[in-house]
């Protein structure tokens, strides 16, 4: 899905997504729990930039809402919604209440930006 939404319309964004997904796949291999949601969210984290997904102009929120509308797994949707310090930026943009409907699982590395090494 990410390829069909981003590769043609946003090739640089697609290249970024491929890099993030590769890191997530390596990280997931070392997790004791299932890394499927992590890897899926890595592939889908920037779908909110896709022209078909844009609604508010805030890509974590738009991506999460788009994926939820397609029936994506809740955990994947929540991870997409909350990546890259999304809640802080959502508050600054005045859409924090809209992002708040997607729960944050928390944890010591919760909210780490995309470029942070895992």
**pLDDT tens for each residue of 90-112:** 999 999 999 999 998 775 444 44
Residue 78 lies in a domain: yes
Least confident of 27-31, 76-80, 107-111: 107-111
Q: If you search the block for the tokens 């930026």, which residue do you land on?
A: 89
Give the pLDDT confidence score for residue 30 in this predicted structure.
77
The number of folded domains in the chain is 1
Residue 87 lies in a domain: yes
Residue 117, burial from CB neighbour count under 10 angstroms (0-12, 13-18, 19+):
exposed
Distance CA 48, CA 58 (A): 7
Distance CA 115, CA 118 (A): 9
Residue 115 lies in a domain: no
Q: If you search the block for the tokens 């509308």, which residue do you land on?
A: 69
Q: Which residues, 6+ apart, have CB-to-CB distance to 116 below 8 Å?
A: 109
């Amino acid at each position: 899905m990410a390829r069909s939404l981003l590769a043609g319309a946003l090739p640089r964004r697609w290249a970024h997504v491929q890099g993030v997904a590769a890191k997530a796949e390596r990280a997931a291999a070392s997790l004791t729990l299932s890394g499927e949601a992590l890897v899926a969210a890595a592939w889908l984290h920037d779908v909110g930039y896709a022209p078909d997904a844009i609604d508010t102009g805030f890509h974590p929120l738009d991506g999460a809402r788009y994926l939820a509308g397609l029936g994506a797994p809740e955990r994947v949707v929540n991870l997409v919604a909350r990546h890259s310090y999304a809640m802080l930026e959502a508050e600054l943009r005045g859409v924090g209440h809209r992002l708040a409907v997607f729960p944050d699982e928390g944890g010591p590395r919760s909210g780490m930006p995309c470029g942070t090494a895992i």
